[in-house]
Amino acid sequence: MDVPPDSARGRRQARDNGNPPRPSTSTPVPQNSSERSRPERSSPERSRKTSSQSPGIVETFWRYVMPPRISPHEDVQETVRLVHQLQDGVRETAAENEKLKEFYRGLEQAYDEATAKEEQARMQIQTFLQAEKDSNAYITSVQNELDDLRARTHEAQRSQQASEAEASNLHQQLITFKRSTVQHGKLGNQITDAEVRAKMDKVFYATQDFAVSALRGAQLDLSQLSQDAKDWLSSYSSGPDSPPKSCNPQIIISLLSNTLVTAFAPKYYFGISSNPAIAAAMLLASAKSSAATDVVAVVKPWLEPTRRLLDRLDEMALQKADQSFIDKAVKHFHCLLVYALPMDWNVAQVGLRKIFAAAFELFRLLHHSKAFFRLEVMSIDRGYQQNTMESVNSTEEETVLAGRPLELSVFPAVYKFGNELGDNQDEMTTVCKARVVAQKKPRTLPNHN
């Protein structure tokens, strides 16, 4: 804060700095004014003393040493002037004092503001120091994580390199295997006639063993068969009550063939499931099979890629669909015989599941083949044909049975149209003959005449 130059302090600073003080507007105070305002009066003793001395010396002294006397009126005026001058000085000092107080108040306010800013800066510095400490800790943690990630990355790279080496080795083995397969002249994903016969024979003999074991200690009551079973036998036997008891095992096999022929439909290529994708594939396969005039060209190329796609989408759902299909087949066969054949069906289900699992696996291979396969149960209206039928439960020669009426159609035949390359679709090959029971030749009574 600047000091006013017309104050007493300002004049002193100007005088100390060598600058002449600014002239004051008030009347200057004369020197020795108090002595002039108050002249010393002569007393009797002094007059007596001075009178006793030499008159020339005294008069000369008082003339040159003592100031001239002033009148009381002038003395009063001088006093008043001095009082006014003092009052002016007091007012000037008071004004300077107020200015100094205002200056000091400004200094105190500036000091308080500086102190507050200093405290605020100190708090900010502490905050920055804590933030720096936290940042350093975070950076250290991130650096540790980065080091751990680098170590894991190196480990993963080494594992990947090992996996790539193993995959390369397996790829070479696969190439070698494919070359070996080609050299053996077998087309990939195709099934030969010998394999079809072997698998169908396995299903037939497993079914025959099941029928024989089911009848061990039990009797088959044909009158207690379900209506579906009776309808089946009415179409594929000489009559629901006509087959002899010796044909009971073949009747059971024939009823199981009913389930097998139904399961050979293309829509069951994906099993049975409530999964939306699998259910849609089943409906589409059924629609394609019903509408297509050429199943080989329309349906068969679509089945296997669709099943692989469903397998990639949800492998577990597709496996459950296959199991559900087996469960439904077992339940269907159980409904046909549940009241006609008393047996422990809980134990029987184990063998039935194995039979149906093997049959359905064979059916998928047949559908996947480029050739077209068909399952057919022989109609009872036909006579025995040696080239398409095989007699069971008979000891007679095949040539003797030719043309004889059929008693029961037991197991379906498998026909193939075309070859493994999908060519010659008009040519039919009997891969598996149908199993049938031919009627026995009636006895001729001797003519005694």
User: Could you tell me if 223 and 338 lie in one domain?
Assistant: yes
Q: Rounded to whole angstroms, how far apart are CA atoms 37 and 70?
A: 7
With respect to residue 24, please indicate whether it lies within any of the assigned structural domains: no
| Domain limits for position 285 | 193-438
Q: Which of 74, 104, 122 finishes a domain?
A: 122
DSSP code for 425: T
Length of the chain: 449
With contact defined as beta carbons under 8 Å apart, do 215 and 249 qualify? yes
Q: Which of 106, 122, 138 finishes a domain?
A: 122
Note the pTM of the prediction, 2 decimals.
0.56
With respect to residue 351, please indicate whether it lies within any of the assigned structural domains: yes
User: Could you tell me if 214 and 86 lie in one domain?
Assistant: no
With respect to residue 310, please indicate whether it lies within any of the assigned structural domains: yes
pLDDT of the chain, 449 residues: tens digit per residue: 454 555 555 555 555 555 554 444 444 444 444 444 444 444 444 444 444 444 556 566 555 555 555 678 888 888 898 999 999 999 999 999 999 999 999 999 999 999 999 999 999 999 999 999 999 999 999 999 999 999 999 889 988 899 898 888 888 888 877 665 544 444 455 788 899 999 999 999 999 999 999 888 888 888 888 999 888 888 888 765 556 677 889 999 999 998 999 888 888 888 898 888 888 888 888 887 776 556 666 677 788 888 888 888 888 998 999 999 999 999 999 999 889 888 888 888 899 999 999 999 999 888 888 888 889 998 888 888 888 999 887 778 878 888 888 888 999 999 998 877 767 778 889 999 999 998 887 654 455 44
DSSP-based three-state secondary structure for 116: helix
Residue 252 CB contacts under 8 Å (≥ 6 apart), including other chains = 207, 210, 211, 214, 215, 220, 337, 341
* Count of the separate structural domains present in the chain: 2
Q: Rounded to whole angstroms, how far apart are CA atoms 378 and 409?
A: 6
User: Could you tell me if 115 and 205 lie in one domain?
Assistant: no
With respect to residue 446, please indicate whether it lies within any of the assigned structural domains: no
Structure tokens at 236: 């594929």
With respect to residue 37, please indicate whether it lies within any of the assigned structural domains: no
Q: Which of 122, 149, 167 finishes a domain?
A: 122
Please report the DSSP string for 167-203 in residue order: HHHHHHHHHHHHHHHHHTT--TT---HHHHHHHHHHH
User: Could you tell me if 296 and 386 lie in one domain?
Assistant: yes
